Structure 1
Amino acid sequence: MQEQQGSARGDRREALKARHRGAIVGAASALMHETDGAHFSVDRLAERADVSRRTVFNHFGSLDEVVLEVLSRELESIVDGIDAALASEDAGAAAEAGLFDRLVAAVRGGDLVEVVTRLKRILGGDDPEPGPRQAMLFERAFTDLNTRLAATLRRHRPDADPFAADLACGAFVGGCLVAIEHWEAATGGADTEESRRVWDGLLVRMASTVRSGFAPGATAPGAS
């Protein structure tokens, strides 16, 4: 009986911890979406989440860790989309396609554009040029994306060399960050039908450049 009571208390504690963590992340997301960016204080976050300041720091080491959790959850849709694309692809085509090409094909069409513009907006608020802190958090979120993509890719291709899978994911995420910079410079960061065409063109060039091994003089499709 005592053992059962102890187990029940432990379950309640875990449920309470999960509820508090969810409330903190939800409050941070709401504050960031309300055009305040990532500039809110711990006190304001605690008040919005209806928890104490101490509770916030019981779950997160800093405000940046809270913001990073929000960004990671926003990027979850990209991982889910790639997961679904890899699960539904034809087995014969999967055997022919390279790991990198499979990742690129999964984010064609603009879904990543939508996520990136949302992330930039909630990170920077009304500021069109996020500062060093916001840029660091953005890149850290993509580093976390890299880890989750590698796990997803290895699950779908258990026969793949782990080094090759990790390298493909690292090249993909790093390439996406470069493509995002060029896409923003070319389109102003607006999510439109034309800007999505620009995005797809950059992804095609990225895949072609990686496939050619950055050979001197190679012209990727879509290059001007």
Structure 2
Amino acid sequence: MRTLGRREQNKARIRDALVTAARELGQQRGLENVTAEEIADRAGVSRRTFFNYFAGIEDVVAAGLAEPLQRLAEALHRRPTAEDPLAAIAAALREQPIGAEVLLVWGPVASPSTPQRHVLHLRLWQHHERWLVGVLRQRLGAGDELRVRSLAAAVMALFEVVQEDWASTTAGLDADAAMTAFNSELLRALDHARAGWQEPPPSP
């Protein structure tokens, strides 16, 4: 493994400090109420340094989520290439469930809707949909772009519906129980999609 030089180590340290500062401030009052200046100040760097590393707050969050999402992508790529895409995604989620570092550490789960929150959410959503398109393009190939992009859009829509319902029902649950509930519902939504949203047969 290549050893980082002093300059690279310093850059990594500043980057990590900015991500940690954003996470802490987001937990306190929601990222939509946090500025780049406040993140930089908590990290002990200048506003200019912040923008040397990140274009905006959504990029800080994306950096903080890169590692768990990469683990999920790797789990998906390990699935058999002929496997149904939704089945492969579900299997990858069983191997690498969505963790608290993705949904619980960046701010209050059920924060009130505000224009600032909506804009930040939209930017993050667009970033992660582009990420998912890239992951699926690697798995499925770029021959049918409509297939790739429509699958990504469908999975993102399922995630959003599950997250909205889950956020309203997690009060009183600890982090482990909340994330178990989220992943269970996300897998259930994927099962509905795989079945074409048909009514399940009655129990015998």
Q: Which residue in 1 is equivalent to 2:28?
A: 35
Structure 2, unaligned runs of 5 or more: 1-6
Q: Does 1:72 align with 2:62?
A: yes
SS in 1 for 2:168: helix
Which residue does the alignment assign to 1:4? none
- 1:29 offset after TM fit, Å? 2.6
> Are 1:112 and 2:70 an aligned pair?
no
Superposed displacement of residue 19, structure 1: 6.8
**Whole-angstrom distance in 2 between the partners of 1:195 and 1:59:** 33
Contact 2:137 2:148 in 1 (8 A): yes
Q: Give the equivalent residue in structure 2 for 1:164.
A: 147
Kept after mapping to 1: 8 A contact 2:97/2:183: no
Q: Paired residue for 1:3? A: none
**Secondary structure of 1:111 counterpart:** coil
Q: Which residue is 1:26 aligned to? A: 19
Maintained 8 Å contact 1:75/1:145: no
The worse-fitting range, judged by mean Cα deviation, of 141-150 and 29-38 is: 29-38
Task: Output the TM-score relative to the length of structure 2.
Answer: 0.70
Deviation, structure 1 residue 147:
0.9
1:20 positional shift:
9.9
User: Structure 1 residues 191 and 165, CA, compared in 2 at 3 Å: closer, same or farther?
Assistant: farther
User: Does the 8 Å contact 1:146/1:169 carry over to 2?
Assistant: yes
* Residue aligned with 2:141, SS: coil
Contact residue 37 and residue 47 of structure 2 kept, 8 A? yes
The answer for the alignment partner of 1:123 in structure 2 is 107
1:14-51 per-residue CA deviation (whole Å, 9 max, x = no partner) reads 97xx6797377336435426625433444433433444
Q: Distance in 1 between matches of 2:185 and 2:104?
A: 20
Pair member with larger Rg: 1
Partner of 1:144: 127
Is the 1:179–1:202 contact (alpha carbons within 8 Å) kept by the matching residues of 2?
Answer: yes
Distance 2:84 2:136 in 1: 12
Query: 1:55, 1:83 → 2: CA distance?
Result: 31
1:51-97 per-position Cα deviation (integer Å, ceiling 9, x unaligned): 43344456656xxx2x21122123323431222212322x3xx30x3
RMSD after superposition: 3.7
Bigger fraction of residues in helix: 1
Relative to 1, partners in 2 of residues 1:220 and 1:137: Cα closer, same or farther, differing over 3 Å?
A: farther
Residues 108 and 115 (structure 1 numbering): CA distance in 2 closer, same or farther, change over 3 Å?
Answer: farther
Q: How many pairs were matched up?
A: 193
The TM-score, its normalising length taken from structure 1, stands at 0.65
Where 1:108 maps in the other structure, the secondary structure is helix
Amino acid of the structure 2 residue aligned with 1:107: L
Farther-moved stretch of structure 1 (107-116 vs 177-186): 107-116
Q: Assess if the C-alpha contact under 8 Å between 1:150 and 1:169 holds in 2.
A: yes
**Aligned pair 1:219/2:199, yes or no?**
yes
1:94-113 aligned within 5 A:
94-95=81-82, 97-108=83-94, 111-113=97-99
Unaligned runs of 5+ in 1: 1-13
Range with greater deviation from structure 2 (194-203 or 150-159): 194-203
Letter in 2 for 1:108: R
Contact kept? 2:72, 2:96, Cα under 8 Å: no
State, as a whole percentage, how many aligned pairs show the same letter. 21
5 Å-filtered alignment, 1:176-195, equals 176-188=159-171, 190-191=173-174, 194-195=177-178
Shift of 1:207: 1.9
AA aligned to 1:219 is E
